[in-house]
């Protein structure tokens, strides 16, 4: 972790001096993962490319204002994510709104290096995308729109028991797909909160 901070400090200082080779190191190190991260949201290669390129352009443009104590990787992912949200709002595309919730909470609770955080975000994102349609719909209504089970039941014209069954199935699938303990504990925590409020 200390080495990572030192590398970040050196890269930021080099960027502030206009060192293009430092920028190339950052680009080469992060382009593949950042592209995969954004593409998991857009599912559109041209749009993903535009968002990712814009994130790197903004990094270079804002280099003089960068904080040596803040992660360059965080800057890139936050900038790219915000770019995705801007495009989503502009185009009014019909995509789930789970991504902001997921990104923010996993970054807050996963106290590891940036690469580990990103890997966990992607793992959970993939697991949720694999949920059956009805199961996924109910999971999103509960966890991302924060509806109570009774509200979901009324909205979908189903019983509360059916909602509970789908939520149980959702977490069962997530547990199988995401085997890391920290992620599992995070989701179990939210599941308990949801049961407590119904």
Please indicate, yes or no, whether residues 135 and 162 belong to a single structural domain of this protein.
yes
Rounded percentage of the chain residues whose pLDDT exceeds 70: 70
Residue 57 has pLDDT above 50, yes or no: yes
Number of independent structural domains in the chain: 2
Q: Are residues 25 and 119 in the same domain?
A: no
pLDDT of residue 97: 47
Q: How confident is the model at residue 53 (pLDDT cuts 50, 70, 90)?
A: very high
Residue ranges making up the domain that contains 198? 96-198
Residues 4 and 85 in one domain: yes
Q: Is the pLDDT of residue 33 over 80?
A: yes
Q: Pull the structure tokens for residue 26.
A: 């950052």
Average pLDDT over residues 30-47: 87
Same domain, 69 and 137: no
What's the per-residue H, E or C state across the chain?
Answer: CHHHHHHHHHHHHHHHCCCHHHHHHHHHHHHHHHHHHHHHHHCCHHHHHHHHHHHHHHHHHCHHHCCCCCCHHHHHHHHHHHHHHHHHHHHCCCCCCHHHHHHHHHHHHCCCCHHHHHHHHHHHHHHHHCCCHHHHHHHHHHHCCCCCHHHHHHHHCCCHHHHHHHHHHHHHHHHHHCCCHHHHHHHHHHHHHHHHCC
Within a 10 A sphere around the Cβ of 140, how many other Cβ atoms?
19
pTM confidence score: 0.47
Give the pLDDT of residue 134. 92
Q: Check: CB of residue 95 under 8 Å from CB of residue 138.
A: no
Does residue 138 share a domain with residue 71?
no
CATH number of 61's domain: 1.10.1740.10
**What's the CATH number where 105 sits?**
1.10.10.10
């Amino acid at each position: 972790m200390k080495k990572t901070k030192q590398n970040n400090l050196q890269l930021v200082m080099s960027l502030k001096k206009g060192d293009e080779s430092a920028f190339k190191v950052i680009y080469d190190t992060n382009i593949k993962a950042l592209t995969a991260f954004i593409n998991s949201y857009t599912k559109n290669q041209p749009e993903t490319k535009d968002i990712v390129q814009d994130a790197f352009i903004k990094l270079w443009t804002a280099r003089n204002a960068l904080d040596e104590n803040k992660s360059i990787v965080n800057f890139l992912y936050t900038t790219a994510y915000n770019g995705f949200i801007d495009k989503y709002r502009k185009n009014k595309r019909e995509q789930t709104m789970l991504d902001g919730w997921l990104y923010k909470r996993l970054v807050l609770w996963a106290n590891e290096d940036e690469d580990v955080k990103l890997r966990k975000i992607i793992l959970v994102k993939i697991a949720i995308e694999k949920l059956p349609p009805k199961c996924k719909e109910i999971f999103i209504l509960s966890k991302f729109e924060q509806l109570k089970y009774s509200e979901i039941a009324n909205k979908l014209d189903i019983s509360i028991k059916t909602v509970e069954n789908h939520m149980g199935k959702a977490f069962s699938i997530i547990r199988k797909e995401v085997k890391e303990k920290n992620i599992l504990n995070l989701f179990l925590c939210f599941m308990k909160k949801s049961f407590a409020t119904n």
